[in-house]
Each structure stands twice: as structure tokens, then as C-alpha cells.
């Protein structure tokens, strides 16, 4: 057995749950990479479809398959992959997305040329849905590499499947927070960015497909996750009052969208105490006086308008 088969340089982790119809495309995009010194760990998070059959049909020695007996969530599946990983570097892929063939090669080349305090490299990506395509990170991200400890608090622009990280980083900051069903990548990046710097290959190296059953479309899960992150990192966010005010405003809007109006107004008032000149917060506080249906309709139209203009 060759040395790189025993100790691959990179461990690629794909968590998956009932995505057998999409998993083949995702796995194939990893296996055809121009950089080949890797293992691919597929973590089946308790699927009830033919996921195991799809994986086995590849017949590739680089593929390792592990299955959770029950569905534990994406964070737990990624943590299982991290704990099983043999590589010095860890990359993540999602079961419904597609890497371009040079993704790992370009990221590894950049990361190996960086200083030791650089924790990892991420890349740009194209997000595709039925109505349009968008490039990320968006143009309004003022700082894309280096010390991102403050920039990342404004909101996440580094999706998990864009990341290539030194495995030792997880020993420093810990693994994914398994309480979170959404925003796991943002919460992880908040911790990573406090301890390490990051570089970017600022070009699209993967395609992210928006699917109807994606967790990113679950707004209630988003509200719960946002609440956990805000509580967990409140002290850190407090170091930048303007950022904390924005996050409180976002939390307030999420509460109002889910008919928790009193909680929403409390968040708006806390945000205004920090930043009393925020027109956005005043507008949302005023809208919260409307019925829940009217609030959701107006916010929905505003979000659709923002997506169209971005």
C-alpha cells in the first residue's frame, strides 16, 4: 500500500441525509479533482434511501463510508468526519453541490505557501437557483482575507463547502456546535477567525445548488440557530457596538416573522439603545405594530427586492 493511501494529505468530508439522487454528482466532482492525494469520507446521517448503494457503486478505495444509526444533523455528521480524518488538511463538500476540478489543487497550492498562522483557504462560488445565479463572496464584503475576526461578525460569507482547513485548527477551537441545525458554518467561522487568518482563491471553484428541501430554506431553524449564536457570542459581538446592534435587529426581525412579536420588539429596542440613529431598526420596530401577516408580506417583498439587486 502506498504512503499517500495510508496518510492522505487531505480528508474530504461529505455529510448526507436522504440525498442519494444528488450524491453521485457531488462525490464525482471530488473524485475527479486534479489534486489526488486525498480520502473521501461520506457520513450518512441515518438516511432511509439508497445512499449506501450509491456510495458502494463507486468502488473507489479512496472512499470511506460511515453511517449514523439515527439522524443527528449536519454538524454531528461533519464532526464524525473530522474525528475519522487521517489528512493534515480537511475540506468539506455538501451532498447537493459540485466542485470544479481544480478546487483542491488551487487551494492547496495557496495554503502551502501561506504562513503557519493561516488556518485555511476558502474560495468563491456560484450559487444557482431557477431564477438567477450569484457569485459569492458578494462585492459588499470589505475584507476577504487576513484577520477576519471582525468582518465575519457582520454575517457569514464563507460556506463550509468552500473551506480547506488545517486539521489542527479544530483542536484549538473545537468542532461544530451540534445544537445548530442552520448557520453551522457561520458559527464555526466566528471561532476560527478569532484564532487564525484566512486566505481566499477569489474565483468560483464550486457550484452551490439551491434545492427545495435544503435546510437553508427552513426559516424556523434559522431563528433558533441565530438565537443560539447571538447568546453564545454576545460578549464577542459587544466589542463592536454597531455589529451587535445589527445582529439584534436581525434577531428581532426573525422573531417577528415567527409571530414572537414581543421578543422582536425587545431586540429592536436593545438595538436602538446601542444605535439610536438606525433607520432600518426604527422601520422594523414600526412594522412590528402591524399584523403578523402584513409584517411577513412586507419583509418578504423587501428581501426579494434585495436579492434581485445583489
State phi, psi for 187 to the nearest 5 degrees.
Answer: -60, -40
The percent of the chain in helix, strand and coil, each rounded to the nearest 5, is: 50, 20, 35
pLDDT tens for each residue of 3-19: 445 789 999 999 999 99
Res. 292: pLDDT tops 80: no
Q: How far apart are the first and last CA of the chain?
A: 50
Task: Supply angle C-alpha 102, 192, 90, rounded to 5.
Answer: 35
Q: Give the distance from CA 78 to its chain's centroid.
A: 12
**Burial annotation 297-308 (CB, 10 A radius, 16+ → b, else e):** eebeeeeeeeee
Residue 49: burial class (beta carbons within 10 Å; 0-12, 13-18, 19+): middle
pTM score, two decimals? 0.89
Is 196 in a helix, a strand, or coil? coil
For strands 38-44 and 10-16, give the pairing.
Answer: parallel
Q: Is residue 261 within 8 Å of 238, Cβ to Cβ?
A: no
Average pLDDT, the chain: 91
pLDDT tens for each residue of 193-232: 999 999 999 999 999 987 655 555 567 888 999 999 999 9
Model pLDDT, residue 305? 58
What gap in Å lies between CA 53 and CA 74, rounded to an integer? 20
pLDDT tens for each residue of 132-174: 889 999 998 999 999 999 999 999 999 999 999 999 999 999 9
Q: What residues does 14 pair with on adjacent strands?
A: 42
Model pLDDT, residue 213? 56
What gap in Å lies between CA 164 and CA 182, rounded to an integer? 20
Model pLDDT, residue 303? 60
Residues of each domain in the chain carrying CATH 3.90.550.10? 3-215
CA-wise closest residue to 60 among 78, 43, 39: 39
Instruction: Tell me the CATH number of domain 3-215, given options 3.90.550.10, 2.30.33.40, 3.30.2310.20, 3.40.50.150.
Output: 3.90.550.10
Model pLDDT, residue 294? 79
What gap in Å lies between CA 47 and CA 59, rounded to an integer? 20
For strands 197-209 and 98-99, give the pairing.
Answer: antiparallel
Which grid coordinates belong to 261?
Answer: 412579536
Amino acid at each position: 500500500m502506498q504512503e499517500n493511501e495510508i496518510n492522505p494529505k487531505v480528508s474530504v468530508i461529505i455529510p448526507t441525509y436522504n440525498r442519494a439522487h444528488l450524491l453521485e454528482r457531488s462525490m464525482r466532482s471530488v473524485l475527479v479533482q486534479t489534486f489526488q492525494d486525498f480520502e473521501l469520507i461520506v457520513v450518512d446521517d441515518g438516511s432511509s434511501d439508497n445512499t449506501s448503494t450509491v456510495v458502494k457503486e463507486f468502488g473507489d478505495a479512496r472512499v470511506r463510508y460511515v453511517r449514523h444509526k439515527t439522524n443527528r444533523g449536519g454538524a454531528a455528521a461533519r464532526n464524525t468526519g473530522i474525528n475519522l480524518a487521517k489528512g493534515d488538511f480537511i475540506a468539506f463538500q455538501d451532498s447537493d453541490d459540485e466542485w470544479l476540478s481544480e478546487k483542491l489543487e488551487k487551494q492547496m497550492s495557496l495554503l502551502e505557501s501561506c504562513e503557519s498562522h493561516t488556518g485555511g483557504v476558502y474560495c468563491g462560488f456560484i450559487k444557482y437557483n431557477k431564477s438567477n445565479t450569484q457569485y459569492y463572496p458578494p462585492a459588499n464584503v470589505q475584507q476577504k482575507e487576513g484577520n477576519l475576526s471582525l468582518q465575519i461578525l457582520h454575517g457569514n460569507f464563507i460556506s463550509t463547502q468552500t473551506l480547506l482547513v488545517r486539521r489542527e485548527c479544530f483542536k484549538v477551537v473545537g468542532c461544530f456546535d451540534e445544537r445548530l441545525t442552520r448557520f453551522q458554518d457561520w458559527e464555526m467561522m466566528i471561532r476560527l477567525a478569532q484564532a487564525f487568518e484566512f486566505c481566499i482563491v477569489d474565483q468560483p471553484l464550486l457550484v452551490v445548488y439551491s434545492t427545495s428541501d435544503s435546510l437553508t430554506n427552513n426559516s424556523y431553524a434559522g431563528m433558533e440557530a441565530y438565537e443560539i449564536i447571538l447568546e453564545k457570542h454576545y460578549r464577542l459581538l459587544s466589542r463592536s457596538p454597531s455589529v451587535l446592534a445589527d445582529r439584534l435587529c436581525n434577531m428581532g426581525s426573525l422573531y417577528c416573522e415567527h409571530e414572537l412579536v414581543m421578543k422582536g420588539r425587545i431586540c429592536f429596542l436593545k438595538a436602538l439603545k446601542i444605535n439610536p440613529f438606525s433607520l432600518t431598526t426604527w422601520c422594523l420596530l414600526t412594522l412590528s405594530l402591524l399584523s403578523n401577516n402584513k409584517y411577513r408580506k412586507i419583509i418578504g417583498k423587501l428581501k426579494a427586492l434585495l436579492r434581485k439587486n445583489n
